[in-house]
Amino acid sequence: MPLVNLGVSSAYVTWNQSFPPLGPNIHHLSDSIRASWPNGYLKVLFRLITFALNAFILRFLSKEIVGIVNVRLTLLYSTTIFLAREAFRRACLSGSTQRDWGQTINLLWLTVPLGVFWSLFLGWVWLRLLEVPDPNVVPHYGTGVVVFGLSAVVELLGEPFWVLAQAHMFVKLKVFYTTVLVLCYVTYFKKLLGFPKSTKQQTLPVSRMTDLLPSILRSRAFVNWTEAKLTWSFFKQSFLKQILTEGERYVMTFLNVLNFGDQGVYDIVNNLGSLVARLIFQPIEESFYIFFAKVLEREKDATLQKQEDVAVAATVLESLLKLALLTGLTITVFGFAYSQLALDIYGGAMLSSGSGPVLLRTYCLYVLLLAINGVTECFTFAAMSKEQVDRYNLTMLALSSSFLVLSYLLTRWCGSVGFILANCFNMGIRITKSLWFIHRYYRESPHRPLAGLQLSPVLLGAFALSGGITGVSEAFLCCKQGWLARLAHVVVGAFCLGATLGTAFLTETKLIHFLRTQLGASRLADKMT
């Protein structure tokens, strides 16, 4: 989290012989795409505002303050939120919307007391067990711990509303933060439930606002124990995944391998490098996890399910893999030659000198792995059975342990870039695990969605040529040759990028057709609703 955080009808869709007929699944697919794009637009807007404000703020703050706020306090907030709600979200969004929503809502409200517990416990750790920064360098540290912990608890109050909205594809209600989040959800549902003739209201499993509060259910269990057990499985997985996701922050916070200033530089580069991942990959992963969870049945093999559903899932997965690979490769190839220039523009000499450029170049490679892993895991977690999720937890445990050890060793050896290298190693293992699951899942079917990871030799050549040209351009034109030379370097990059994207447009015709078809269907659905 940066310093500033502004918290179809199938009759109209034309498919050629390259794609299976979607039938009723077009509703899920179009809704998933529509869910990701509005969310993406809002996040782009907020991130751009954040980007501009941070670029200004970084010129007036010390590296130590940046390190405390962006690493330690943000880690407190993200850990509380993740441990309290992630498992509940995954479990309650799985399967059909035809369920006993009274039990589901009761289960979701358990996130609030869990959030209070984690906030108090972690707040005590942050205040009593960790090194307290010098108040002359970083003032009001204790107040910051309290505010960040309280903010996490307040955000959890909107969890039942969030899950209900996501399960019923209310795509216009998506991105808010803390108190605004809760107030917007309450206002939205209060207004919606006040109009009984509304189409959306008629499809909801609740009829009044009190139905969204925890309640005693007559002749029924308080919660659905099947969902509760699945939640516990996801909770164990979420705990381990949190270590992998925020592992470098835990190592920095608890093992003191970097001082607060170096932590600040690393976190700024980390946030800048992951900007595209947060803006593009995360919304797609969240939305298409819902799509795959609705189309596929967890407890059945691919051969035992409706072949139409299996074919649709394979087609979508192949296209998403191709899109992720192209996006990641573009960032990796062009990011290498423009990392130093980007850091100089963003934060001045504090970032563009020293280890900053090396960190960002390494992170560009990590973004490629993030893109592929996001798509493969959103399918894997949606298709896995409860038993498979439990077995996968063992793999996550081994990865978590190895990541912590590897991060510590690599950081001692090569500084802060060791964190990114450790992340790359573990992300590669996770991708391999997911690819093996996908291969086995479709082994007995005629579909091969992993073909999305193959590119034509012409396109690979275009990437290689662009990387070479921009690398030479950086050596002669950037970044100590004045603004005119820098501008020329940007022009060279823009020309190479245009040529590469043009090559992709001509060679990846199947992906282009898929995107055109689905985005067209999504726009048409928006006009019809």
In-domain check, residue 224:
yes
Backbone angles phi and psi of 166, in degrees to 5:
-70, -40
d(CA 42, CA 46): 6
Q: Which residue has the higher pLDDT, 422 or 237?
A: 422
Question: How many domains does one find in the chain?
Answer: 1
Q: Write the pLDDT tens digit of every residue in 350-403.
A: 777 777 888 899 999 999 999 999 899 888 888 887 788 778 877 777 777 788
In-domain check, residue 463:
no
Structure tokens given for 295 = 């189309």
Greatest mean pLDDT range, 81-90, 236-245, 291-300: 81-90
Residues 478/418/149/65 CA torsion (nearest 10 deg): -50
Range of the domain at 367: 23-455+508-528
Instruction: Report percent pLDDT > 90 for the chain.
Output: 19
Classify each residue of 10-48 as buried b or exposed e, where b means 16 or more C-beta atoms within 10 Å of its C-beta: beebebeeebbebeebbbbbbbbbbbbbbbbeebeebbe
According to the model, what pLDDT value does residue 8 have?
29
In-domain check, residue 340:
yes
Q: Which residue has the higher pLDDT, 191 or 156?
A: 156
Alpha carbon of 62 to those of 344, 350, 415, 514: distances in Å?
17, 10, 20, 48
In-domain check, residue 492:
no
d(CA 524, CA 276): 27
In-domain check, residue 502:
no
In-domain check, residue 12:
no
Task: Tell me how crowded residue 383 is: count the other CB atoms within 10 A of its CB.
Answer: 23
In-domain check, residue 473:
no
Q: Which helix (H) or strand (E) holds 184?
A: helix 178-193
Q: Which of 246, 268, 269, 239 is nearest to 404 (CA)?
A: 246
In-domain check, residue 11:
no
Q: Write the pLDDT tens digit of every residue in 285-304.
A: 877 888 888 888 777 777 77
The 3-state DSSP composition of the chain as helix, strand, coil percent (nearest 5) reads 80, 0, 20
According to the model, what pLDDT value does residue 192 have?
66
Q: What is the mean pLDDT of residues 244-260?
A: 80
Q: Does position 342 have pLDDT exceeding 90, yes or no?
A: no
- Residue at token pair 């298709």: 383
The confidence band for 249, taking pLDDT boundaries of 50, 70 and 90, is confident
Q: Does position 14 have pLDDT exceeding 60, yes or no?
A: no
